Structure 1
Amino acid sequence: MKNVLKAFAVVCLIASCETKSSQPQMDYDKARSSINKSIDAWDTGWENKDVELSIKHYADSTDWTNAFGDRVQTKKELEKLLETIFGLDFVMSGENNYGANEIRFLSDSIASVRTQNIRTKQKWPDGTPMDDRIINHLRVYQNLQGKWLITHHMISQAWPKNRPVDSLTTEN
């Protein structure tokens, strides 16, 4: 009988220790909406050469690398680089054709986002047309003080696979 009471006490103790989260469940739909709006702001900022709108959703400490290897590590450095990029007519020519944002939550405070863009009608510095190409964006977001901000952004590009290697270079 003594052992039965001890076993009963242990079961009651375990049952009373059931953990219940005092934190509310994360609202993933709200987070997705916030992230999608920030990417829309980037896209609109790029199209309108609006640096402030383009960098609005970046953390002050961010790691940004474009397809040409330009790398900056602060929002201020990104602002200066985009001012230069937006002044290059051959870079800004062309059309963007974005696919859906693929958002994956790694935790309640970190998300990765992949976006693909088919870039068309862009020109080389000499004005000759570029072949269409695929531009990939990989962004890492962190929920910092209730705001989903970009802390890492890497942009890469892929040329069509059927294109000869020699045609990837231009003659000056």
Structure 2
Amino acid sequence: MVGNATDLKDLLAKTRPDFTIQNLRDFTDWAEQRVLAGDPSSNLLILASLGLDKDLIREEVQTYFAAYLKDIGKPYPDSLEATVYYFRRCFKILAWSEDENVVWGTLIDTFDRWYEFDSPMLSRVVNYWNGVRSDFVDCFDEEYGYLHVMFPRHFDIPRQKQCDYIRETAKRFFWLLECEYTCSLILKNSS
């Protein structure tokens, strides 16, 4: 399912070791939807029932989520795989968010830092998006336009069309990372 609905890969994105899970309710809400859809896993049922607690305990949520992954035969992702899912989730937000502030906020929050990966393919994807952020945020002046750009094609994109460009481009990258074959190449070609 595409759009704002949370799916398993979105939750796997939150398993990155350096990722602070801000909303544990994403896990319990997702589990509740899966139970309502007829998933018979007892670990999923327990995970969904944790959503009834006022304060969620991170370790409990992670324990039952990991147990559910084991039930379905999905190994807990390593750091690189979780990172691929993380960027897929970011592209999903960029592509399908109706709110321009969310698009700009996600672009800035996600690509305003330096990442190092063992995967040259993932590095190229992220470097491109660092360039998009740099060109549209750092190098665009309201009075003078573009001061300089990393990618010359960005000169042709007026300020009013930048958000649309980000959305459409993010859709392409989302579908790229949605493809199991592409993900396997990213993981296979890591050092």
| TM-score, structure 1 normalization | 0.28
Q: Which has the higher strand share?
A: 1
| Higher Cα Rg, which structure | 1
Q: TM-score of the superposition, structure 2-length normalised?
A: 0.26
Give the structure with the higher percent helix: 2
Greater length-normalized contact order (CA 8 Å, ≥ 6 residues apart): 2
